[in-house]
Chains A and B, each alone.
Chain A
Amino acid sequence: MSDYTTGIKELDDAVGGIRKGSNIMLIGPPMSGKEAILNHIMYYGAAVNENAVITVTTRESATHILEWFKEHNLDLPLPRIGIIDCVTKTLGGVAAENESIKIASSPVDLTGIGVKISQFFEEFFMKKNTQKIQLHINSLSTILMYSNIQTVFRFLHVFTGRIKAAGALGIYVIESGMHDEQAVATLKQLFDGMIEIKSQEDKNFIRMVGISQKPTPWFEYEIEGHNIKILRGN
């Protein structure tokens, strides 16, 4: 019996679901659709599996993320959504917190981001009695632009530990090719597995590593609206 799923059927079937307490790196090149994949996992987690989903966003504003779902006619269950917006304030935008949005002061303010994550965890567990929680961080690459690898490692060390203790699922996005290999290798120690994406000759492929005994095959995929359509396994 699996604890968490991605909602991409072929992948879920191949690994048999993801154990609770897992921390997973989502790594892929720019423009390969990581955003859409993460949004898909978020929607599937919240709307279909009825989990709570906490998303830390360092790239798009919270409003922008919610609009994406509206544009794709997806009805996101807001009481089970928590977005931590690290963008709006530093851009000088007007940022109002509400039940599903909290505002952090900047991507450098890891202390503040940590506080907001803890607050959402408390709200989901205590007030809303939701036991299964996903934490998505999009992306570690932005955080790494402002902080060094040791700092990010310490931050992740704390929060991957909390994910384990809470029996939650953590997904952390990293741009491949943006950081030196040693940095990525350092961070990998903290993760139980990864969702890996590669682009070859205008085609995109996805696989999961470390979740099941062997890596899954590479699945070629296309993004159709909000759907991740698997073309064939090879």
Chain B
Amino acid sequence: MVETGIPKLDEFLGGGIPRGKSLVYYSQPGVEGEIFGLQTVYGTLKNGGTCVFVASSTIPDIIKGQFKEFGWDVDSFKDKLFFVDSYNPLIGAPSNEKYIVSNPDKIEYFHKTIMDIIKELPPSTIVFGSLSTIMDLCGEKETIEAVRTWNKMAMLYNHVIIYNFTAWPYSNETLNLIKGDIFNSVISIGGIAERFIFGQYFGILKSDWADIPRKSMLFRVLRPGGIKIFIPKILVTGPFDAGKSTFVHALSTRAISVDRLGTTIAMDHGHVDYKGFSADIFGTPGQERFDPIIKLLSGESMGVFLIVDSTNPSDFVRAKHMLDITKSYGLPYVIVANKQDLPGALTPEEIRRQFHLPADVPIVPAIAKDKIGVFEAFEALIDKITGGI
């Protein structure tokens, strides 16, 4: 198996890409699909693998620079990473790379270089920086025929072969072939667009070695960092003095509170970066007069933490009411049973009974001030939001 290094994708694919398989990252124009190929290169190198990157739309040095922008040091893998340079010959500049395509507008020249690599190198991950550029230069039909052969040969020689492809308006025949039977797996990368693209997601269209979950994951591209799964907003609510601000701060890599006399009167705001997930966290004030804020924020959130003080059952009625407000928006939620270190704290099961909550609602015991239980709660909520994949 070769890991893509992309959070959740390896899991979706049953651990990664088996040797001999081909995969295409099929991107809508305008979304950052090419990062998927780069991240897969780095994922392979980090695990000791050998990689080939076919640079067809810019020079290899710029690709190396892009790795650096993501904080991925590829220099230390010099003898494990090979570039195919088909860009310098295109603009008539000299190339220092071992593998070059001297006539990048003729598919035969690509074919010769790729076949040499497939036969010469030990089982490797071969990544095409932009299949669409090759197709633009060499023709749709010609390129597709070559790709079929490369995939077959890669299978015989135990390589993994991966393509970044931008779905410009090519002929339907071409697009259907690419989404169809040419590759063992197709990862679709798209944008959520209204008047413009404001969110990016990926999902698996096809994989012939794994049962594919019908899920799309939102992602953002961070520099440094690469692809991170992205959950736009998570709401933290709960009665007065339950420890919401403490929870937000414990969970966040950075956070601010707007408060007066030790209690939050406006809101807490934090940002979490944990196990490939990024999320923005908003904490609401506990007092009833601020309930409109909960309503306002609920409309834009994707999940809710309800923090309760486990030692203070008299507040549970209020907590239940706050939960009802957010539930009316249909949001997934997790109960955080805070202050478990104090005497008289109820166990999660006792809290479940008092709240009359069904067994599938996660109640996570926590001591927010010591950061105990906060990341467990986060994972539980992510599972709820993504459907537990």
Contact = CB atoms under 8 A, between A and B. Distances in A.
To the question of whether A and B form a pair in one complex, the answer is yes
17 contacts: A89-B62, A90-B91, A106-B59, A108-B133, A111-B27, A111-B34, A111-B130, A111-B166, A112-B58, A114-B30, A118-B31, A122-B196, A122-B198, A125-B195, A157-B169, A162-B30, A167-B195
B348 interface: no
Interface in B46-80: 57-59, 62-63, 65-66
A68 interface: no
Interface residues of A, number: 30
A106 B133 CA distance: 12
Contacts of B137: 147-148
B87 A166 contact: no
Nearest to B55: A105
B355 interface: no
A132 B212 CA distance: 42
Interface of B: 27, 29-34, 57-59, 62-63, 65-66, 87, 90-91, 130, 132-133, 136-137, 164, 166, 168-170, 191, 195-198
Contacts of A165: 195-196
Contacts of A111: 27, 29, 33-34, 57, 130, 132-133, 164, 166
Contacts of B57: 105-106, 108-112
Contacts of A148: 136-137
Main SS class of interface, A: helix
Interface of A: 89-90, 105-106, 108-112, 114-115, 117-118, 121-122, 125-126, 146-148, 150-151, 154-155, 157-158, 162, 165-167
Contact of A106 (B58, B166, B191, B196): B58
A176 B340 CA distance: 76
B59 A118 contact: no
A217 B170 CA distance: 39
A129 to B, nearest CB: 13
Nearest to A161: B169
A151 B33 CA distance: 19
Given A108-B87, A115-B30, A162 B136 contact: no
Contact of A158 (B34, B58, B59, B169): B169
Contact of A154 (B65, B168, B191, B195): B168
Nearest to A126: B198
A114 B196 contact: no
The 4 A-B pairs of least Cβ separation, nearest first, read A118-B30, A105-B58, A151-B136, A154-B168
A107 to B, nearest CB: 9
